[in-house]
Amino acid sequence: MQIDVSNFLLAASVTQAVVLSVFLVLPSNIGQTSNRLLVVVLLSIAAGYAEMLLYSAGLTARHPNFAYLGTLMSVLQPPAIYLYTKSLMRRDFAIKPRHWVHLLPFCTAAVVFFFAYYLQPVEVKTEILLEQDLPGMPTSLPLALVIHGVFLSYLIYSVHSLRRFAAGVKDIFSDVESKQMSWLKVLLSGYAVIWTVSLLYCLAFYVFKCSTEIDYVLMISGASGFLFINMLVIQALKQSAVFSGLTNEEAGLLEEREADKETVLPTDEQKNCLERFMNSEKPFLNANLSVNQLAKQMGMSPRDLSFVINHGFEKNFFDFVGDYRIRHATELLDLRQEGKTILEVMLDSGFNSKSVFNTAFKQKTGMTPTQYRNRNA
């Protein structure tokens, strides 16, 4: 029964990945670089799970020339995921000649498998497959460790890039909930955990000579693949509708921010000018306010404005604007306007997310909005 369930999950994962890839290559979708990279991710996942399915069905042993093709194609997966992550960050992201270096792991693996397996006689291939403990896993421990190392390195670096990006967007936007791509960070972290477990299985099989039921490995692999594909595609399509990445100007501002090593602090006049504008014009009431928009309203460059906020107030743009919004919310709550709900106060203060509002309010005042309103009741 376990074999049937695992085969069903593996077949469902392969089918789903292929169908979704076909959807993404439609003329209306294929124009986006992120969608093209997502197709590579999905097809490489499908190839890896297809190999597990063939192994489980006993077809690999009868057709040894088809063995390891899925493993080989899977090596395209980590760099494709990394580039896909980068493409979500930048609206104008495009594959450039320097990106072809990410094909090096695949080319290296292709050469190794070609000489170590595909050029061997059928008898030798069959013997190699008979010694195989895990589907798609080469009998060479060093090679298996290198493949796992490539996957984990790319996944970890992708998560690191997302964390830097999430911190960076707070220097540009006052509304960052839909721009931090936390869903992708969680997804990649979970995928890294799966590959860490796979590495432990690898060590158990080849170093400690432990044995286990392969059905459980196939079932876990199929279930994780099915969940990963579903979550990736659903969230990716949702994300593209909400946030399509940074513009050239916004990305340039982040790069300048990271390279900024100025030691001269903003003057008091610059700080006072910004505070006067915030108090008089109340631009923070615009829920979608960005540093570019505020700079344009004040007649200064986004870089100069960021410099004043970052070095003069020692805050990022998100926190700087958030403080004014919380202050405005407390004023509205103190007025106790008849019939004005907490939600209305939130919207009137420039927030468009209840969770962000509640978190920021409690951090600033030590109370929830409701507790603040009722503190002297």
Note whether 117 and 162 are same-domain residues.
Answer: yes
pLDDT at 218: 66
pLDDT recorded at residue 224: 76
- The pLDDT, as a whole number, for residue 351 is 93
pTM for the predicted model, two decimal places: 0.83
Q: Please give the Cα distance from 285 to 283 (Å, whole number).
A: 5
**Residue 95 shares a structural domain with residue 120:** yes
Tokens representing residue 159 in the block: 């998560």
Per-residue pLDDT, 103 = 94
Examine residue 255 and state whether it is found in any structural domain, yes or no: no
CA distance 237 to 231: 10
CATH code where residue 115 lies: 1.20.1070
- What is residue 180's DSSP assignment? S
User: Of the residues 203, 226, 249, which one is the last residue of a structural domain?
Assistant: 249
Domain boundary among 229, 249, 269: 249
In a domain, 273, yes or no: yes
Residue 78 maps to a domain: yes
Answer yes or no: do 186 and 320 share one domain. no
Is 116 domain-assigned? yes
What are 211's two structure tokens?
């044995």
Q: Coil, helix or strand for 116?
A: helix
Give the Cβ contact number of residue 296 at 10 Å. 13
Q: How far apart are CA 374 and CA 368, in angstroms?
A: 10
> Do 244 and 357 reside in the same domain of the chain?
no
- pLDDT the model gives residue 106: 93
Which residues neighbour 269 within 8 Å (Cβ) at sequence distance 6 or greater? none
Domains in the chain, number:
2
Supply the pLDDT for residue 139. 61
Here the CATH number for the domain that contains residue 325 is 1.10.10.60
Task: Tell me the two tokens of residue 219.
Answer: 């079932």
Please indicate, yes or no, whether residues 274 and 230 belong to a single structural domain of this protein: no
Query: Quick one: pLDDT at residue 60?
Result: 81
Question: What is the spatial distance between Cα 364 and Cα 326, in angstroms, rounded to a whole number?
Answer: 7
Are residues 317 and 169 part of one domain?
A: no
Instruction: End-to-end CA distance of the chain: give it in Å, rounded.
Output: 63
Q: Based on the domain organization, do 146 and 279 belong to the same domain? A: no
* Domain boundary, last residue among 225, 249, 273: 249
- Residue-number span of the structural domain to which 271 is assigned: 260-373
In a domain, 254, yes or no: no
pLDDT in tens, the chain (377 residues): 344 777 788 888 888 889 888 888 888 777 888 889 989 988 998 898 888 888 877 788 788 888 888 888 989 999 999 999 999 888 889 999 999 999 999 999 999 889 888 898 988 888 888 776 566 666 677 877 888 889 889 999 998 998 899 888 999 999 888 787 878 888 888 888 878 877 777 777 766 665 555 666 667 777 777 777 777 777 777 766 667 788 888 888 877 776 666 667 888 999 999 999 999 999 999 999 999 999 999 999 999 999 999 989 999 999 999 999 999 999 998 887 666 889 999 999 999 889 899 999 999 999 999 899 887 66
The residue type found at 133 is: D
Euclidean distance between CA atoms 187 and 227, whole angstroms: 10
**For residue 319, is it within any domain?**
yes
CB neighbours of 193 closer than 8 A, spacing ≥ 6? none
Residues 217 and 329 in one domain: no
Report pLDDT for 338. 60
* Domain-embedded: residue 30: yes
12 and 141 together in one domain: yes
186 shares a domain with 110: yes
User: What pLDDT does 215 receive?
Assistant: 61
Residue 162 burial (CB count, 10 A): 22
Q: Measured between alpha carbons, how far is 123 from 129 in angstroms, rounded to an integer? A: 10
Q: pLDDT tens, 167-222? A: 889 999 998 887 878 788 888 888 888 788 777 777 777 666 655 556 666 677 77
Res 213: pLDDT:
55
Nearest to 13 by CA among 50, 51, 38: 50
Give the model's pLDDT for residue 157: 92
List the structure tokens of 83.
Answer: 């580039």
Q: Are residues 94 and 18 in the same domain?
A: yes
108, 178 in Cβ contact below 8 A? no
Shared domain check, 345 and 205: no
- State residue 2's pLDDT score: 44
Mention every residue, 6+ apart, whose C-beta is less than 8 A from residue 179: 169, 173, 243
Does residue 175 form part of some domain? yes
